[in-house]
Amino acid sequence: MRGILQVLPTIPREQRTRVAHFLEKQGFKSQALAVTCDPEHKFELALQLGDLKIGYQLAKEAEVRLDSAAAFSIKCPLCFEIVTCDQGE
């Protein structure tokens, strides 16, 4: 991780998400999470790593609202299911 953080300032911001996808494919998901600038990619990585705290924070920041009839479920690596429904709040 230290090596990536040392090199990170030399990588142009517009290339960081591309580097993060490479790191993810190589199995370095936590490092990819630290590098990516794309909020959706960061959210996906957080869920894959089981870091629901970061995932929740990113979802709050995105202020994603579901239609009143919409529902979705996400299977996460912790073997439980999160189900969210918008009750027309």
Q: Which residue has the tokens 């591309």?
A: 18
**Residue, of 2 and 54, whose pLDDT is higher:** 54
What does the CA dihedral 22, 23, 25, 29 come to, rounded to 10 degrees? Answer: -140
Q: Return all residues near 53 (Cβ < 8 A) that are at least 6 apart.
A: none
What is the predicted pLDDT for the residue at 15? 92
> What is the total residue count of the chain?
89
Q: Where are the domains of the chain?
A: 2-64
pTM of model > 0.85? no
Bridge partners of 81? 75
CA distance 36 to 14: 10
What is the predicted pLDDT for the residue at 56? 86
24-79 pLDDT, tens digit per residue, is 999 999 999 999 999 889 999 999 999 989 988 888 877 554 433 344 445 444 44
Rounded to 5°, the CA angle 54-8-35 comes to: 25
CA distance 66 to 1: 37
